Amino acid sequence: MHPSTSAARSVGLNKVYGAGETRVVALDNVSVEFRHGEFAAIMGPSGSGKSTLMYCMAGLDSVSSGSAAIGETEITTLKEAQLTRLRRDRIGFVFQAFNLLPTLTALENITLPLDIAGREPDQEWLAKVVAAVGLGERLEHRPSQLSGGQQQRVAVARALATRPEIIFADEPTGNLDSRSGAEILTFLRNSVRELGQTVVMVTHDPVAAGYADRVVFLADGRVVDELTAPTADAVLDRMRRFEAKGRTS
């Protein structure tokens, strides 16, 4: 789509929670860029600031200082109503919990964001997304009649339905067995490769990170490394080296 421009970017981002004895520096001067058409992973141990980074870059949480942009739009200065609109119109979200509405069918869940935005679906795009979700006649089923993996596929399709500029996913395979997890990761990767989407995925799982085009490593709220065309083994190896360093320093 816009191959040379950034889909999301942070410059010198800081996020501090609490004050005094309970003060936690969750993000420490984070500058990072995600490009259009990229499948990127934010990787790091539990508590390293992955979710905080995603929330700050996606306008779900406020920053303490620094800047964050979606495309050309600086988001740290937006008012709440503008942020709500930006998230609705330009960003797709996938979380560890599938967050589907139980009374709607799978298909109704997928088209819900379009209904809420009052937008006419791009039928051709929607047909592609619905075909890619691979649920066949189960599209008419309710979430409780679907497996965890199928529910998360619906949640990914829901994020894709509005054809957002960028999808942020926080531990999307965290509640799934490895086989269902592999299906979701393949679906996300195909949405980048075949549908031209941009996906930023937070994960602590080297296998999940191995599906991405690029991995950004966080430790103690800082970007400490980056890996292009990663394999699960290379990611695991990198993580082990950080842990060893942490123990000796």
Ligand X SMILES: Nc1ncnc2c1ncn2[C@@H]1O[C@H](COP(=O)(O)OP(=O)(O)O)[C@@H](O)[C@H]1O
Residue 48 binding: pick among Mg ion, ligand X, none (C-beta 5-8 Å cut-off by kind): ligand X
Does the footprint of ligand X cover residue 44 (CB under 6 A)? yes
Does the footprint of Mg ion cover residue 51 (CB under 5 A)? yes
Q: Name residues contacting ligand X, limited to 46-85 (CB under 6 A).
A: 46-52
CB of 159 vs Mg ion, minimal distance in Å? 18
Residue 113 binding: pick among ligand X, Mg ion, none (C-beta 5-8 Å cut-off by kind): none
CA dist 43 and 7 (Å) reads: 19
CB of 70 vs ligand X, minimal distance in Å? 19
Burial class, 182, CB count within 10 angstroms (exposed 0-12 / middle 13-18 / buried 19+): middle
CB of 17 vs ligand X, minimal distance in Å? 3
Residue 47 binding: pick among Mg ion, ligand X, none (C-beta 5-8 Å cut-off by kind): ligand X
Rounded to the nearest 10°, the torsion over CA 156, 160, 164, 170 is 10
Q: Which of 26, 30, 176, 216 binds ligand X (CB under 6 A)?
A: 26
Count, residues near ligand X per rule CB under 6 A: 12
Residues of this chain that interact with ligand X (CB under 6 A) are 17-18, 24, 26, 44, 46-52
Query: For binding to Mg ion (CB under 5 A), which residues are involved?
Result: 51
